[in-house]
Homo-oligomer: A and B are copies of this chain.
Amino acid sequence: MKKYTSVDDISNLNEILQAAKEIKLNPLANKQLGKDKTIGLIFFNSSLRTRLSTQKAAQNLGMRCMVMNLNTEGWTLEFEDGVIMNGSASEHIKEAAPVISQYCDIIAIRSFPTLKNKEKDEAETVISSFVKYASVPVISLEGATEHPLQALADALTIEEYKKSDRPKVVLSWAPHPKALPQSVPNSFVKMMKKMDVDFIITHPESYELNPKITEGVKIEYNQEEAFKNADFIYAKNWSNYIDYGKITNQDSNWTVGKKQMNLTRNAKFMHCLPVRRNVIVTDEILDGDSSIVIPEANNRIYSAQVIITKILEEFKK
């Protein structure tokens, strides 16, 4: 594997999931693989799980970590070509990425979308500029339109908890007071399309995700209908994609609770976290037996570790 910035970078999901399961059984087995190798974790935005689980994964592989909040600890970066840099940006990605590449064997980056400039967000300006100008492999710690490490952890979690060969998985939109990216649902949709699952998305009308991503996936506006016989409920808010970045619905009927979960086949409840209690999902569900959000977060270690492993193995070729 030469980069991991999108679920599309996975060519053989089964192999990756198998490798992740083996890593999980013995996380320190490959401690020599990353010896004297350095991963740079570059954050443009807040992070808890990703920050800690990726460090943990890298350290399990014997790597050295350098963590940096680029905006506050470094310099504001410019990503536009040909610009006269007499504004607020001090450094161009054309220098920053190759320079960091000389200090790190792998660069991992988190950069959220603007949610204002759809074109710029869809171009994945930050992540794709790093890919373009870095001379080392790049991992996305969540970009403007994808969160591929989360989706891989989700896939691993579904693998572990599924009770049938082809479980029914529902991605259910939920309300939220702030405008959130579509990156988690986008990557989740892409991942589900790679898995042998009966997948359905439910959301209010006009909350369609990017149709290029959801192409071929069943969409059901009636949440209760969607939940029937489900094995996994994946709740997540996203801001409006059509009326880009806006909050056009805050209907608390979409908050996942006992009422909806009762329609399922004893479904497991999933969420990428952080989750707003009693807005996305009720306390009752999160604190009950159906919730697997904590082990799902645990799998963030192994999704990161399997990707880093695949990249490090590439170095040996």
Contacts and interface: CB of A to CB of B under 8 A. Distances in A.
Interface of A: 28, 31, 36, 38, 40, 43, 46-49, 51-53, 55-56, 59, 64, 66, 68-70, 72-75, 78, 81-87, 89-92, 94-96, 98-100, 102-104, 177, 273-279, 283, 286-287, 293-294, 297-298, 301
B82 A283 contact: yes
B83 A277 contact: yes
B59 A64 contact: yes
Contacts of A283: 81-82
A281 to B, nearest CB: 10
Contacts of A90: 274, 276
A99 B48 contact: yes
A85 B40 contact: no
A48 B283 CA distance: 38
B98 A294 contact: yes
A51 B38 contact: no
Contacts of A75: 46, 48, 274
Contacts of A86: 177, 276, 279
Nearest to A55: B66
Interface class of chain A by DSSP = mixed
Given A86-B177, A276-B90, A73 B100 contact: no
B277 A96 contact: no
Given A38-B59, A94-B287, A278-B85, A99 B66 contact: no
The 4 closest A-B pairs by CB, nearest first: A91-B274, A85-B276, A48-B74, A84-B278
Given A95-B273, A103-B53, A46 B74 contact: yes
A51 B78 contact: no
24 contacts: A38-B56, A38-B59, A46-B74, A47-B74, A48-B70, A48-B75, A48-B91, A48-B99, A51-B74, A53-B103, A55-B66, A59-B64, A69-B73, A81-B283, A83-B277, A85-B276, A86-B177, A91-B273, A91-B275, A92-B275, A92-B277, A95-B294, A98-B294, A99-B298
Nearest to A28: B36
Contacts of A100: 48, 52
Given A51-B68, A73-B43, A99 B273 contact: yes
Contacts of A46: 73-75
A272 to B, nearest CB: 11
A219 B232 CA distance: 63
B91 A52 contact: no
A24 to B, nearest CB: 12
Contacts of A56: 38, 66, 103
Contacts of A104: 52
A234 to B, nearest CB: 16
A91 to B, nearest CB: 3
A295 to B, nearest CB: 8
